[in-house]
Amino acid sequence: MNEKATYIVMLGPPGAGKGTQAKILAEKLGLVHISTGDLFRENLSQETELGKLASSYMAKGELVPDDVTIAMVKERLSRPDCAKGAVMDGFPRTPAQAEAFEALLAEIGGKVDLVPFISVPNDVLVERLSGRWMSHAGRVYHALYNPPKVKWVDDVDGSPLYQRDDDKPETVLHRINVYYDQTSPLIDFYRQAGKLVEIDGTQEIEQVTEDLLKAVA
Ligand code: AP5
């Protein structure tokens, strides 16, 4: 049984700031940050079969099939570092994933505690994703809004930064459509469950964090 574990689901469109905030929140709360996008990208860089399969969907801005994604999350949540719970970033992302997640947590005596929905209008999303710079360790920067100390260089380990393939403008627009089509129904799912808290994601990063911490308290 795992009754004291805390599970937070970050919800919002691509570029809303889920990853940026999930990392901060996980650190502050002593929880694990689980990003399905990062897990797929790690698999891709290690050239695993899962990585190859996922990349064929990710490159087009499509979702990786539910069964593959759910199995990956199930394995990740079974590791000992998840004993206190997790901040979920990019999962669940479809009604089927949300149902599977409920069942998965029920098996270990847990439940979703809070769902911060970070809302940001589409034009801002496009601007954020087109200026996003990533480190190979998964740290996220923005050319204007969250720049590294030295352009294109990771503040922490000095390695070069890169732009994600799926941050090309045409793929970004498709990802936003996929979000409205397949993920936005989760807003009502969690609202009806009384777990949704809407957060204004257009504010400065620090202010968004402050609002999130208030919601968690
Ligand atoms: P994933 O990696 O999860 O991408 P995403 O959901 O599209 O989200 P992003 O990472 O693009 O955005 P974010 O909200 O985390 O924003 P960030 O903090 O980086 O998924 C990629 C792909 O993997 C999917 O398309 C799919 O193929 C597959 N996948 C993943 N999960 C899946 C699942 N569950 N099921 C099926 N397939 C799945 O911020 C964006 C930028 O804005 C950064 O540059 C940041 O510095 C900047 N920024 C952040 N906050 C602010 C702020 N307040 N003000 C100004 N700038 C800000």
Q: Which residues line ligand 1 (CB under 6 A)?
A: 12, 14-20, 35-37, 40, 57-58, 61-64, 69, 90-91, 93, 97, 128-129, 131-132, 140-142, 145-146, 166, 175, 201, 203-205, 208
Dihedral class, residue 12 (left if φ above 0, else alpha if ψ from -120 to 50, else beta): left
Residue 1 Cα to ligand 1 midpoint, Å, equals 32
Within a 10 A sphere around the Cβ of 10, how many other Cβ atoms? 27
What's the topology of domain 6-120+183-216?
Rossmann fold (3.40.50)
Residue pLDDT, tens place only, 92-137: 999 999 999 999 999 988 999 999 999 999 999 999 999 999 998 8
pLDDT mean across residues, the chain = 95
Q: 142 and 129 in contact (C-beta within 8 Å)?
A: no
Residue pLDDT, tens place only, 129-157: 999 999 988 899 999 999 999 999 999 99
Residue pLDDT, tens place only, 51-75: 999 999 999 999 999 999 999 999 9
Residue 208 Cα to ligand 1 midpoint, Å, equals 16
- The burial class, CB within 10 Å (0-12 / 13-18 / 19+), for 153 is middle
**Which residues belong to the active site?**
18, 93, 132, 164, 175
User: In which band, very low, low, confident or very high, does the pLDDT at 1 lie, cut at 50, 70 and 90?
Assistant: very low
Identify the residue whose tokens are 């695993």.
48
* Residue bearing the CA closest to ligand 1, atom 55: 145
Domain definitions of the chain by residue range: 6-120+183-216
